[in-house]
Structure 1
Amino acid sequence: MDFLSDVIYLDNNATTRVAPEVVEAMMPAFGPQYGNASSMHTFGGQMGRCLEEAREKCAAFVNADPSEIIFTSCATESDNAAWYSATETQPEKRHVITTKVEHSANIAYGHYLEDKGYEVTWLGVDANGRMDLDELDRAIRPDTALVSVMFANNETGTVFPIEKIAQIVKSHGVQLHVDAVQAAGKEVIDLKKLPIDYLAIAGHKIHAPKGIGLLYLRKGTRFRPFIRGGHQERGRRAGTENVPYIIGMGKACELAAAGLREERVRLAALRDRLQEGLLAAIPDCKINGDQEHRLPNTLNISFEAVEGEALLLQLDQYHICASSGSACTSGSLE
């Protein structure tokens, strides 16, 4: 295990280490507290209470009502569920708007809808990864079912002006889906202030395990479940609840909420120290993305005449973990 002790891990936008406090909170549900949260007996009811306590923590993390939180297996499922529901509940609307820099889950669903005859408007970004809000405003039509954008980009760290985007989208009476996977735990998310209909978060990006996520569904938004079966999650997501992981998600949200402001300052200082060191030591390198509006933990830098894969392989020999693209596409070096 000496290798692991020497690792310099700079790939937290791909996944994070599960926090020790999260592991500790989960352990009883892997052992003596193994009841089915949907069962009517006391043993099952105990797990049901644990599930609802976790839901309350997740809701508090984004300033939502607990009834607006749906647990899923991952953010990809949450994203798919949002797109599915928005289009299925508005069959008369055959137009969707998203951006060209979204997570692959949203890009793929957009192409799926195109194959079904929908029209998808793919908005571009400028050299710094910023959206043109006037272009968004002009793109919305009476038959637009959904606008789907990310809160912050996982590669450049550019943070989109979600409040302004929401104001534009809602001025047209259109539903808004936000992929907040990279923003969660790094940016303040207040869903009492932001008129968002759907919002996705992944547990493994905030020090919870892989295999758990959530979908925020604003109260009053029409919803058609993506997964059908039992009555779990108030009939909105069928399947036996993964209570250990849900407990872990709740604990991770609790930890992230408690230390958010301090962690932002700490991460930004580390990012800026790395950036300054690289710029001072290496000629012909360039910082990519919006340096004014970006995640505190993310640095995207390119080096002239250096190929990304070769650099990553060299860094790996020194036990330094980084990425040349998003986790969903880095295997193909897209």
Structure 2
Amino acid sequence: MPSAGPAELDAAGITDPALRAAYTACRELNAVHGRTYFLATRLLPPERRPAIHALYGFARHADEIVDDLGDGRPAADRAVELDALAGQLGTALEGGPAAHPVLAAVADTAARYRIDRQHFTDFLVSMRMDTWVTDYPTFDDLARYVHGSAAVIGLQVLPVLGTVVPRAEAQAPAAALGVAFQLTNFLRDVGEDLDRGRVYLPADELAAFGVDRELLAWCRRTRRPDPRVHRALAYLVARTRAVYRRAEPGVAMLEPVSRACVACAFTLYRGILDEIAEAGYHVLHRRVTVSTRRRVAVALPGLARALVARARS
């Protein structure tokens, strides 16, 4: 596990021992499960990192309720647990006791940065969808899920990152970047999602290339490529690249001390699409990743830019 990051907590003015422990738990979740995000977060000024860890920790906590299939619980039980989480979050956001460390940290972050509570509500709506929705007929249907699962994440972190333009102007590209990251995850994890009984790729767009759930499952089971799947994934990768292009202007709208962080995450996550293409779109049986060498090559120049921005600020 990573260290607790006491210097970050000190820089953020977080002194209460219980709250420090809560933020530390979120930091450890980010380090273990969100390697790209964690690396990018290291490029932020220390005082802003705990808030990002808290937002990631809460999202991860909710995601584990719906995705931890090894516990054998039925979907109905997961929905009940999400409803309970929503109630516990509401209590914490109102200043009441937190039922879990991640709730204490995220409630403190929401108060510090005045994050709109509706973003958390929308996020949990999408998490509930994962307990009963197993596929999406069209991209518009998927967009309703992605708004809560991804776009609002971009909107949550925006107050932490800060902007040099009116925040409302930066919201559209921030939301688009969250969506781009999520669509990238869907393409990278299509095989694992099949194992969970879900397909996050629009059925009508797959059908245009002669692909359906059964063919995807066959390719995963046999580890054999299929030209129809290749063409479908190539199209969806191209479509996702267009979302990154819509998001890219948002980096310059951020405060200078935050730009290196987001630019690093942008480059590394978009690089996953390159890895998918280089694998010939034969990814249903394995999870492509960006190499450690590539991570370092992106992060080190980012660190230099971050240090210069901090010095100037």
TM-score range, shorter chain: under 0.3
TM-score, normalising length from structure 1? 0.25
| Larger proportion of strand | 1
Q: Which protein has the bigger helix share?
A: 2
Greater RCO (CA < 8 Å, at least 6 residues apart): 1
* TM-score for both structures, normalised by structure 2: 0.27
